[in-house]
Structure 1
Amino acid sequence: MSNNWYKNEGEEKLAEKLIGMEKAALEKWFNGDSSGYRDLWSKKSFSYFDAVCVNRVDTYDEIAKLAIERVDRKLYAKHYEVRNERVQAVGDMAVLTYQLYCERNLINVNYNCIEVFQKEEDDWHVIHSTWSIIRPMEMDFSAMKEIV
């Protein structure tokens, strides 16, 4: 990884771990399987903002239900690319930011992603997630396909 913003080997290893967890969840997500994110999201404390949600989602149960309804066996990506990953950490909290460029079966969308991780017991979980569209004023939603 070796980016100049990581101060030591410990920070770099944590960044590799969290980015790896996120990429593993994305791989499942874009193959119509929300289980990777459902495992990554905190069941104790979770919130979520998305470009298609009017209000913040405030619980794990709510986001898990939405993910199953919207993703499982419905959402697929022809191609996606994660760019500009960065982890900033203090103690048992870490923020992962990255850009996601994807060609999906419903509509092609590019996101700025923010994942706030917290260490719970012996593992890390996302306690807040925000997916915002890169340059939303340029996004044309007229081509979006209906979810069957």
Structure 2
Amino acid sequence: MTENEMKIWHYSNEGEKNTAEYIIGRELSALEKWFKGDVSGYAQLWSKRSFTYFDAVEAKRIEQFADMVPLLNRVEGRLSADNFEVRDPRVQLGQDMAVLTYQLFAKTNLIDIDYNCIEVFQIEEDGEWYAIHSTWSVLRPMDVDFSVFKESGLR
């Protein structure tokens, strides 16, 4: 991703810019796998210690990574897209936390995705950045037919 594509936001030094690029790179790597039916990118990105998740097809917040495993297992090998687009990624940095926001667009084999995505990252004991919260919300929910998830057994 080039600097123009990334739209550098208010980084006060090169270290902050590098951290933002690193976090965005980890997310893009997880997405590349995700759209090939491989959930391992998010399984590695999401914190095992402290994690919560909101999604457009889940009725309640998922309270920990262990509760994500059934969802990941249902998606594994079943979701695919020839390509996807990440628009306007932005990382806002705190001392040991960061918030990544972007819009995601993909036409998958199951559903067209037009999402606002929010990932809250924190540095954990091993010195690595992990997402401790993830929200995937539909840009315009009134335009989406989620029945495919019920029909396919993904929900």
TM-score w.r.t. the length of structure 2 is 0.88
What is the rounded CA distance, in whole Å, between the counterparts of 1:141 and 1:119 in structure 2?
Answer: 35
Give the secondary-structure state (helix, strand or coil) at the position aligned to 2:110. coil
1:56-67 correspondence runs (5 A): 56-67=61-72
Task: Tell me if structure 2 keeps the 8 A contact 1:78–1:105.
Answer: no
Q: Specify which of 21, 35, 60 is matched with residue 40 of structure 2.
A: 35
1:65-121 CA distance string (max 9 Å, x none): 21112x111010122100100000111100000000010000112000000000002
What is the count of residue pairs matched by the alignment?
146
Task: Tell me if structure 1 keeps the 8 A contact 2:9–2:90.
Answer: no
- Corresponding residue of 2:119: 115
Give the Å deviation of 1:33: 0.8
Backbone CA RMSD of aligned residues: 1.5
What is the rounded CA distance, in whole Å, between the counterparts of 2:48 and 2:130 in structure 1?
Answer: 9
Which stretches of structure 1, 4 residues or longer, exceed 6 Å deviation after superposition? Answer: none
- Corresponding residue of 1:128: 133
| Gaps in structure 1 of 5+ consecutive residues | none
| Gaps in structure 2 of 5+ consecutive residues | none
1:1-148 correspondence runs (5 A): 1=3, 3-69=8-74, 71-121=75-125, 122-141=127-146, 144=148, 146-147=151-152
1:40-76 CA distance string (max 9 Å, x none): 110000000000000000011111221112x111010
Give the Å deviation of 1:11: 1.2
